[in-house]
């Protein structure tokens, strides 16, 4: 009974915290006016044992999933006692992970220009053009940690960088889709909404 009371009290404190924080214009836009997303992020921060304030800069909620940055993933892996080594430049990045409980085996992930081109990422407008070395690094780190230490991520196995690179994959066409496809093209001035990407689509895009 005491545990239940403590849990309810903690939740009430968290709800009050996000209610007070959400209106702030100092928050990243993904959290401004979105207390539910902010609550999701701080609950994840609590689950992996990092200060809640880090949720504001290191965790995003994308397609309903808590998505840590690759750097936070690296930090969590090292905090768990795993060895992570990263080398690279503007054309490649190789990440090696050695688990704390198995020093005799290493996991390796390498991202280079050819691999990024094959994934149709290299040269894309935005970070892939402005910061190619950072994007290669993010991909190599998140991939090697997903391979060797997913247990330290509390279920969030895809990084922000990966989630934002993946486009929605249509599963089936409805009658309405078919009718719309036969209509003349129209210019629609609506805000872009976040794509919903399921785990199967994500795995296909990353393979």
pLDDT in tens, 47-96: 888 898 888 888 887 777 778 899 999 999 999 999 999 999 999 999 99
Q: Give the model's pLDDT for residue 177.
A: 46
The residue with greater pLDDT, 131 or 30, is 131
Say whether pLDDT at 8 is over 70. Answer: no
Residue 109 lies in a domain: yes
pLDDT for position 200: 52
Across residues 34-41, what is the average pLDDT? 90
Cα–Cα distance measured from residue 203 to residue 207, given in angstroms and rounded to the nearest whole number: 6
Residue 176 lies in a domain: no
Contacts of 204 (CB under 8 A, 6+ apart): 169
Q: What is the pTM of this model?
A: 0.70
The pLDDT of residue 11 is above 80: yes
At residue 164, the pLDDT reads 78
The Cα 92–Cα 190 span in angstroms is 38
Number of domain units in the chain: 2
Evaluate whether residue 102 is within a structural domain. Answer: yes
pLDDT in tens, 102-157: 999 999 999 999 999 999 999 998 999 999 999 999 999 999 999 999 999 887 67
Residues 92 and 49 in one domain: no
> Rounded to an integer, what distance in angstroms lies between the CA atom of residue 23 and that of residue 96?
41
Q: Classify residue 190: in a domain, yes or no.
A: no
Domain presence at residue 174: no
Is residue 128 domain-shared with residue 155, that is, in the same domain? yes
Asked if 80 and 41 sit in the same domain, the reply is no
Any domain includes 16: yes
Domain span at 132: 70-166
The confidence band for 9, taking pLDDT boundaries of 50, 70 and 90, is: low
Q: How confident is the model at residue 4 (pLDDT cuts 50, 70, 90)?
A: very low
Q: In what order do the strands lie in the sheet with 92-99?
A: 83-88, 92-99, 102-112
Same domain, 6 and 31: yes
- 86 lies in a domain? yes
């Amino acid at each position: 009974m005491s545990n239940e009371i403590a849990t309810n009290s903690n939740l009430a404190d968290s709800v009050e915290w996000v209610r007070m924080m959400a209106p702030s214009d100092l928050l990243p836009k993904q959290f401004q006016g979105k207390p539910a997303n902010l609550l999701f992020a701080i609950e994840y921060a609590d689950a992996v044992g990092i200060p809640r304030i880090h949720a504001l800069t290191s965790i995003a909620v994308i397609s309903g999933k808590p998505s840590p940055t690759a750097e936070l993933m690296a930090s969590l892996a090292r905090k768990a006692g795993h060895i992570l080594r990263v080398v690279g430049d503007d054309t490649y990045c190789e990440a090696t992970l050695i688990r704390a409980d198995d020093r005799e085996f290493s996991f390796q992930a390498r991202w280079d220009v050819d691999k990024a081109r094959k994934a149709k990422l290299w040269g894309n407008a935005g970070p892939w053009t402005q910061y190619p070395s950072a994007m290669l690094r993010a991909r190599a780190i998140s991939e090697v940690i997903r391979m060797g230490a997913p247990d330290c991520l509390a279920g969030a196995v895809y990084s922000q960088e990966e989630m934002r690179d993946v486009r929605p994959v249509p599963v089936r066409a409805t009658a309405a889709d078919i009718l719309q496809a036969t209509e003349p093209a129209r210019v629609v001035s609506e805000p872009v909404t976040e794509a919903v990407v399921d785990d199967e689509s994500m795995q296909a895009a990353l393979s």
